[in-house]
Amino acid sequence: MSLHLKKTQMICLWFMGVLAFLPAACSDAHRPESTSISIVATTGMVADIARQVAGDRAEVTGLMGSGVDPHLYKPTRTDVQRIMDADIIFYNGLLLEGKMVDTFVRAATSGKPVHAVTELLDDSYLLEPEEFEGHQDPHVWMDPAAWSKAIEVVRDRLVELDPSGQPEYHANAEAYAARVNQLDAYCQRVLSSVPEKQRVLVTAHDAFNYFGRRFGYEVVGIQGISTESEAGVRDIERLVDLLVERNINAVFVESTVSQRNIQALIMGAKARGHTVVIGGELFSDAMGASQTYEGTYIGMIDHNATTVARALGGQTPPRGMNGELKE
């Protein structure tokens, strides 16, 4: 790891420590009951939880749309203003939104409640790749069971802000958690139908490690857990060796990452006489298009599990768990 990267991580981690302290220290005020709550959320996955739990009691603004890479995202002036005008801010945390940390600190310092939805996850659960010493893998939404903890965070923080809404927040959270549990069971079923030797998921970057651990898949990413890192020739050659040796015939592109490295991998395998195809496009750091089934958290994970299982030889329904996936 470079000295620059270590320094950057140390600074970000210091900011996050400050951020964790500030909301409680700065504001205990409740939102007036007569007005709708204004919520700002960073990623689509976080915004989806906020909408499901808040229901009609809030207006939710998501900052990052379909195809946006949160690792690289820098807040615009409009984003900063929305954050400063919001009643409460939710973000993923674990440095996923690394270029937004100073904005979060500014909001918290002004008295805004700013909360990471991953705050209930124990360090013992979180993965810490060797190449990112001190930097935990932020892609926890890939494990539906873990993401249920994020639902609890949003529920509890909204109750703190708006106590009169407690019955609604609890009912909404319970209903949404039940649907996420159904999603988890579906993923277990279709992904376990893939022959064991084929349970290798090769993707553009390491966004699927929690997915792999939850559902029993070996996960190989060309890039690291952040898309800021670059894959080199040796990385491609190493993965070509893996594809050939393990007779892996399908790899997957991601909606928020360039296909360049995946195409290089396919061409490298072809030069070795081994045919590899793209098994499909997966949603990693962002959901699908707004106003579509894939543009929800459940639709996103349904799509991923169904696409992976089908490409690797498993048994899946034609249009996924709810019959709503695109053909």
Q: Look up the CATH number of the domain holding residue 159.
A: 3.40.50.1980
Find the range with the poorest average confidence among 16-30, 74-88, 171-185: 16-30
The strand pair at 114-116 and 88-91 is best described as parallel
Task: Name the amino acid, one letter, at 261.
Answer: N
Comparing CA positions, the residue from 244, 202, 209 lying closest to residue 226 is 209
Using the 3D structure, point to which of 145, 165, 185 is the last residue of a domain.
185
Find the range with the poorest average confidence among 105-109, 165-169, 201-205: 201-205
Q: Is 320 domain-assigned?
A: no
* Tens digit of each residue's pLDDT (9 = 90 or more) over 190-239: 999 999 999 999 988 788 999 999 999 999 888 654 444 555 678 888 88
For 230-257, what is the mean pLDDT? 84
Q: Is 113 domain-assigned?
A: yes
Residue 177: its pLDDT value, please? Answer: 99
Q: Considering the entire predicted model, what is its pTM?
A: 0.87
CA 193 to chain centre: 25
Q: Maximum CA pair distance of the chain?
A: 68
Q: How many CA atoms lie less than 13 Å away from 312 in the CB half-sphere? A: 25
Based on the domain organization, do 213 and 307 belong to the same domain?
A: yes
Residue 257: its pLDDT value, please? Answer: 76
Task: Name the amino acid, one letter, at 193.
Answer: S
Structural domain boundaries, residue 283? 188-311
Find the range with the poorest average confidence among 28-32, 50-54, 86-90, 157-161: 28-32
* Tens digit of each residue's pLDDT (9 = 90 or more) over 278-312: 999 999 999 999 999 999 999 999 999 999 999 99
Chain length of the chain: 327
Tokens of 2: 């470079």
- The answer, yes or no, to whether residue 13 has pLDDT greater than 50, is no
Comparing CA positions, the residue from 292, 322, 290 lying closest to residue 305 is 322
CA separation for the pair 255, 304 (Å, rounded): 11
CA separation for the pair 183, 186 (Å, rounded): 5
